[in-house]
Amino acid sequence: MTVLPHTTDVLHRLSDAVDGFLRSERDFDLTDPAAHMLVGGRLRTLGAQIGESVLAGIPDEDIAAIVQPARSACSRSPFMRDENEWARGYPSDFRLVEHVVAQANEAAPGTLGWHVETNLQSSAITQQQRNRVMHQARLISDVLTAPRNGPRSVLVVAAGAAPDLRLIPPGIVRPGDRFVLTDVDPDALELAQKRLGLLNEFTTAVPGNVFRALPKLAELGPFDLVLVNGLYGYLNDRAAVRLTEAVLTRLCRPGGTFYFTSIKPGNPFKWTLEHLMDWSAVERDDRAIRALLPGCDVSMNLDPTGLAVLTHVRTGRG
């Protein structure tokens, strides 16, 4: 097969970016914490060159072979190693979310892994995760403090260890209020229960795949607020439509709020995440999101990083 000159140039640039990233250990003083900015620059260059290779039509297996040394080096960061290995069988598991929320760095100081992890923890892609947690906590708080005629109920789908609910001060929770958490990973819900403290008294955990859990969740509803965290990033359109219909017809109370998040197309971290971390997400713009919600009262806005689309759906009046 003949390799086009343009393709050859693209592959050379990708190889150079990999080599440049690996030379960070020789070129920079990694004992200096500020070196993470220099390492980050080379990591971003590598991501850009991966993207150029994809757009040039280079087969994924060829890109993977070239970037493998960089991928191995990145795995010295516990953050990236856990995502690479999919220790729990799926990407972006609850441990990674906890790691991001805590802004932890468990790599050894003075190593390339430490600088990679520091760069990631200070990047927009992790900040949007923390922004989403804070936004969801505000939505929960707003429901609990709004004028009411009775107790309020909140459902969190793909709850993980409930970092959003853990931010709620127990003092604003009143008798009869109820929180329901569901997640495919029972260990996530177990950690949530360990960390929720006094809120455990008001919380019910429903482990399992959300589609299989629907009958149980419907029994516990209807809910004033249904949060679907980042799950839509891992659902194709057919599954997303199915979940959306279930939330609107079986789970959310008339007059309630349904909320979910999506990554906006054009995410500049896309290639780094996909090829160095095996972390792929379904991206949706406003039009794709509205296609999931025909005839609904929808409002959308971006988180402060501009990467996450925050979608709020107001259900029919009760």
Condensed to tens digits (0 to 9), the pLDDT of residues 213-252 reads 999 999 998 999 999 988 999 999 999 999 999 999 999 9
**Which of 167 and 8 is assigned the larger pLDDT?**
167
Per-residue b or e along 70-83, where b marks 16 or more CB atoms closer than 10 Å to that residue's CB: bbebbbbbbbbbbb
> What per-residue confidence (pLDDT) applies to 3?
45
Q: What is the token pair recorded at 138?
A: 């505000």
Do 57 and 181 reside in the same domain of the chain? no
Together in a domain, 228 and 293 = yes
Evaluate whether residue 272 is within a structural domain.
Answer: no
Last-in-domain residue among 95, 121, 147? 121
Q: Could you tell me if residue 273 is inside a domain?
A: no
Reading the block at residue 140, the tokens are 């929960």
The CA-atom distances, in angstroms, between 261 and each of 62, 126, 141, 257, 286 are 33, 14, 18, 13, 11
More confident residue, 18 or 92: 18
pLDDT at 317 over 70: no
CATH number, domain of 135, equals: 3.40.50.150
Nearest to 20 by CA among 109, 111, 112: 112
Beta-bridge partner residues of 298:
313
Q: Which of residues 94, 121, 148 is at a domain's end?
A: 121
Q: Report whether pLDDT(274) > 70.
A: yes
The answer to whether the beta carbons of residues 115 and 36 sit under 8 Å apart is: yes
Check residue 280 and give its pLDDT.
Answer: 83
User: Between β-strands 153-157 and 223-227, what pairing exists: parallel, antiparallel or unpaired?
Assistant: parallel
Q: Is the pLDDT of residue 178 over 50?
A: yes
Mean pLDDT of 44-62: 93
Using a pLDDT cut of 70, give the percent of the chain over it.
93
pLDDT in the model for residue 54: 93
What does pTM read for this prediction? Answer: 0.90
Where helices occur in the chain by DSSP H, the ranges are 5-22, 24-27, 36-55, 60-74, 78-85, 94-102, 112-121, 124-145, 186-195, 210-220, 237-246, 270-277, 286-291
The answer to whether residues 52 and 9 belong to one domain is: yes
State the average pLDDT for the chain.
Answer: 90
H/E run at residue 256: strand 252-263
pLDDT of the residue at 279 = 81
Q: Which domain, by its residues, includes 210? A: 126-267+281-314
Least confident of 4-13, 82-91, 167-176, 250-259: 82-91
